[in-house]
């Protein structure tokens, strides 16, 4: 493939936060843009855990990429996967066998799960990076509850009702809190043998505290809030082994049918494509203006890039960084900006559960109900599309008032669940 017009051709790889921000800023300008992604939708990743815990449906937090750019005639969307980059020829190779030539290249390929050299663990402890991941986790959690309803073996039942989340960063904390609310409050009224005290939710962290990127004060508040929800927090307990139905954390062996990974990420193979230097997570080292060293027409942004935020410290792999970088690079290409990228941080946010959240804005630290309101408004505001904002707001309001979670659907073939008519009535346990 080649660009037929005489205008500069900008190829953007990845329609995450960074790639989407760059494409939006270039839409309607005097350039031709090709946006490549292996999925046809953009997903609001900070709320994926709510899909995984049946609070929201996938369409509530995602939007079709073509729909987002339907009014931008200079933006072309391609559903394909990049397999390599030939920087000498200014070419991008696609899995379909085609090649795209570019004048400017923006790599916003995001990140995938990192199991720290133990990729075999991914079978037993899925991570959360996509809609598919969220649906797989939702299915796993809901099936565990369904099977526990009719399980007569005490050990098997306990294993089914034990949920382990590995990693106590924002994703792990939010996931653990959401599962605790789902298993201990939202569904206990709908089952006849599961009470709020039947389930166990265990949050495992190799470090010394939860939310290590937050202040010590807010970390302790989050820790207490998790325990109030019934979450067991295990600190300084690195994972040494994972298997079918168990996790070795620290010196303890935990039997659990549901284990979720939220402990680490690995960048895409962009550094390999470019033969560029990268950090331990595979993120490409970039210059102050986000260009790849030695390649003046190639940029790396978001989770693909290891960019300095001042003081030599790498910027965090969060959505606000990626969005600001995407807009900055677009302005550079359009000739409207020059100089180095400067990130404007607005703090860190994390929710622990119903009416519980923490916000770290440097000197300003907020927790509790007000922080939860700020977190909710911020996340609704940054959703793609007016419909999504309305639907999510109404879903959250309904869930807040009733504790109901209406997205509790188990899809696909269900194997190994005995018919209800054959189930032996059980006494309510764990009261």
Q: Give the residue numbers marked as catalytic.
A: 174
Question: And the tokens for 60?
Answer: 């509530």
Cα 280 to Cα 324: distance, rounded to the nearest angstrom:
24
Question: And the tokens for 121?
Answer: 């663990």
Residue of 138, 164, 150, 154 lying closest to 416 (CA atoms): 150
Cα 27 to Cα 77: distance, rounded to the nearest angstrom:
12
Q: Are 414 and 143 in contact (CB under 8 A)?
A: yes
Indicate the SS3 state at residue 283: coil
Cα 299 to Cα 291: distance, rounded to the nearest angstrom:
4
Q: What is the DSSP letter of 173?
A: H
Q: Which residues does 48 contact at the CB level (< 8 Å), separation at least 6? A: 61, 128, 129, 130, 131, 133, 134
Cα 127 to Cα 113: distance, rounded to the nearest angstrom:
6
What is the DSSP track for 362-421? TTEEEESHHHHHHHHHHHHHTSSSHHHHHHHHHHHHHHHHH---TT----S---SPPPGG
């Amino acid at each position: 493939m080649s660009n037929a017009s005489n205008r500069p051709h900008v190829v953007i790889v990845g329609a995450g936060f960074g790639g989407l921000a760059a494409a939006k800023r270039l839409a309607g300008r005097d350039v031709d843009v090709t946006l490549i992604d292996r999925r046809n939708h953009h997903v609001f990743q900070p709320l994926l855990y709510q899909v995984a815990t049946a609070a929201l449906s996938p369409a509530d937090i995602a939007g079709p990429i073509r729909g987002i750019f339907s009014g931008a005639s200079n933006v072309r969307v391609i559903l394909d996967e990049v397999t390599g980059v030939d920087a000498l020829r200014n070419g991008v190779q696609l899995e379909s066998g085609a090649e795209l030539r570019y004048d400017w290249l923006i790599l916003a390929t995001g990140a995938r799960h990192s199991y720290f050299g133990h990729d075999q663990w991914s079978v037993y402890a899925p991570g959360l990076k996509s809609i598919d991941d969220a649906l797989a986790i939702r299915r796993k959690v809901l099936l565990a509850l369904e099977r526990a309803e009719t399980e007569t073996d005490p050990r098997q039942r306990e294993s089914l009702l034990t949920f382990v989340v590995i990693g106590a960063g924002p994703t792990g904390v939010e996931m653990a809190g959401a599962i605790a609310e789902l298993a201990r409050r939202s569904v206990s009224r709908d089952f006849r043998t599961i009470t709020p005290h039947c389930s166990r939710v265990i949050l495992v962290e190799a470090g010394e505290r939860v939310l290590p990127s937050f202040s010590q004060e807010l970390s302790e508040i989050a820790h207490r809030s998790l325990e109030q929800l019934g979450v067991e927090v295990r600190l300084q307990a690195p994972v040494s082994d994972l298997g079918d139905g168990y996790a070795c954390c620290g010196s303890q062996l935990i039997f659990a049918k549901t284990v979720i990974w939220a402990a680490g990420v690995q960048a895409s193979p962009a550094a390999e494509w470019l033969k560029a230097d990268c950090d331990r997570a595979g993120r490409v080292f970039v210059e102050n203006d986000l260009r790849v060293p030695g390649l003046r027409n190639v940029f790396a942004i978001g989770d693909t890039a290891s960019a300095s935020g001042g003081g030599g410290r790498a910027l965090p792999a969060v959505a606000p960084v990626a969005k600001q970088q995407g807009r900055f690079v677009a302005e550079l290409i359009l000739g409207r900006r020059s100089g180095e990228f400067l990130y404007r941080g607005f703090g860190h946010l994390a929710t622990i559960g119903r009416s519980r959240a923490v916000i770290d804005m440097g000197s300003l630290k907020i927790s509790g109900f007000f922080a939860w309101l700020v977190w909710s408004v911020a996340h609704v505001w940054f959703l793609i599309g007016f419909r999504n904002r309305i639907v999510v707001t109404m879903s959250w309001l309904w869930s807040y008032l009733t504790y109901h979670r209406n997205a509790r659907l188990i899809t696909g073939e269900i194997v190994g669940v005995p018919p209800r008519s054959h189930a032996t009535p059980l006494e309510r346990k764990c009261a």
